[in-house]
Amino acid sequence: MESFLWGVATSSHQIEGGNQWNDWWQWEAQGRVEGGARSGSATDHWNRYREDLRLAADLGLNSYRFSIEWSRLEPEFGHWSSEAMDWYESLIAECERLKLKPNLTLHHFTSPQWLAEQGGFSNPEATGFFGGFTKRVVRRLGSRVPLWCTINEPVVLALGSYVLGIMPPGVFAPDLAVRAFTQLLRSHAVAYEIIHRETTTRVGPWKDDPLQVGFAHNLLDFQADRWWHPLEFAISRMLWRIYNKAWMEGIMGRRPSVKLLNVLPEAHWPHELKGRVWADFVGVNYYTKAYVQWRPRDSGEGQTGNLPIGLSFARRREAQSDLGWAIHPKGFEKVLRWAAGYGLPLMITENGIADHTDDRRREFLEKHLSVLQKLREEGMDIQGYYHWSLLDNFEWIKGFGPRFGLYQVDYSNFNRSLRLSGEYYREWIQSQ
């Protein structure tokens, strides 16, 4: 099936380097990343993007998912950088030359520092700011971009920033998490409308392809740690609803059936979304499962914010990544079947493993790609698969330790080299 999209995914802050105008840069400077790491030059992609896209094309890919760095384009509120816009335009031109269909993400975890200072997405004005940014990008680049993800992992962003302490500002304030969640939903809907409305001309190799706007939603397979424990069972169901389902319900124009921990008053819910579907595809980012534990007393590691809930991502003996995330292809099948139930086409916008020795990635790929193949053969409408990631990169609060790349990066000289698992991915694609 020729039109299936085979790709890799990356994000601006994790690879570009020099993203000094965003909230993460400030956070890193405050020593909030493990080992005091700072993104700095990251993988120096800003200077090496031609080489990197060539590496992607060498894998036999036909699509590339990347993100645009809002803080580069608008480093100060209302001040736009034409140099940054030119750079993204060149990136897209390079995609065209190499026949890599661009899949552009507007927001991937980082916000401009000026927005962060005003409360980020917990600020009701954020939607307007995000809409303004989207308009700029669409007017300049939109004619050449057939695929869009508005926001990457909105639920991770809201919880990571305001419950889990793993993203700036790293505070514990569940009410702000709920506000951010609803602002992100609104922002997505606004961007969805703008992209469709403002894309009036289409040019380039994909001008006749349908314009598709979606998002990239992280899905986890929540399970009770002790299957017989009624509370753990109930909490894992509740987390499924909050983490996986609430966003999807909003996208479908429905109010989530769950009251989000009773902190989402009716007044916050974006009623203007009601009765319409706000996406052309569902982007699924899938990595692993989460074992849910009832922990009434703080027991240190694995504790979730200040909540009496513990999360772990693998049992001791289970095959797992360097980050301790279980290799769990059954969960991939489960979340895809669940997401397909919404009736929209699916796209795997991320799937990958931190594996610095590259001794598990091949098997990881084989198992997850087999699930994908099976579901496609059954007739599930899955339009593409993007492996996370093309290169090793800056893994947020974990710094540069975790290695997700099909290409290894030597950070002393930025040399890239293909891992054996990268060859395996290329062969898999070739055999299709």
Supply the minimum distance, in Å, between the C-beta of residue 167 and ligand IFM: 11
Supply the minimum distance, in Å, between the C-beta of residue 109 and ligand IFM: 6
Binding of ligand IFM at residue 11 (CB under 6 A)? yes
Residues 387-416 that bind ligand IFM (CB under 6 A): 388, 395
- Residue 88 φ/ψ, nearest 5 degrees: -65, -30
Alpha carbon distance 289, 87 (integer Å): 38
Supply the minimum distance, in Å, between the C-beta of residue 284 and ligand IFM: 11
- Look at strands 309-312 and 282-294 and give their pairing: antiparallel
∠ CA 11-5-378, rounded to 5°: 125
Q: Which residue has the tokens 């997401």?
A: 339
Binding of ligand IFM at residue 28 (CB under 6 A)? no
The residue among 179 and 217 lying less far from ligand IFM, judged by its C-beta, is 217
Q: Which residue has the tokens 């990008």?
A: 137
Amino acid identity of residue 102, one-letter, is P
x/- letters, 128..167, toward ligand IFM (CB under 6 A): -------------------------x--------------
Alpha carbon distance 398, 396 (integer Å): 5
Q: How many helices (H) and strands (E) does the chain have?
A: 14, 11
Supply the minimum distance, in Å, between the C-beta of residue 51 and ligand IFM: 21
Binding of ligand IFM at residue 285 (CB under 6 A)? yes
Question: For residue 404, what is the DSSP state?
Answer: -
Residues 354-393 that bind ligand IFM (CB under 6 A): 388
Binding of ligand IFM at residue 39 (CB under 6 A)? no
For residue 285, give both structure tokens: 């980012």
How many positions of this chain bind ligand IFM (CB under 6 A)?
Answer: 7
Question: For residue 280, what is the DSSP state?
Answer: S
Cβ pair 129, 91 in contact under 8 A: no
Residues 6+ apart with CB under 8 A from 131: 187, 190, 191, 194
The residue among 48 and 217 lying less far from ligand IFM, judged by its C-beta, is 217
Residues 6+ apart with CB under 8 A from 204: 96, 143, 144
The residue among 52 and 395 lying less far from ligand IFM, judged by its C-beta, is 395
Supply the minimum distance, in Å, between the C-beta of residue 387 and ligand IFM: 11
Binding of ligand IFM at residue 333 (CB under 6 A)? no
Q: Which of 350, 361, 375, 422 binds ligand IFM (CB under 6 A)?
A: 350
For ligand IFM, the binding residues (CB under 6 A) are 11, 14, 153, 285, 350, 388, 395
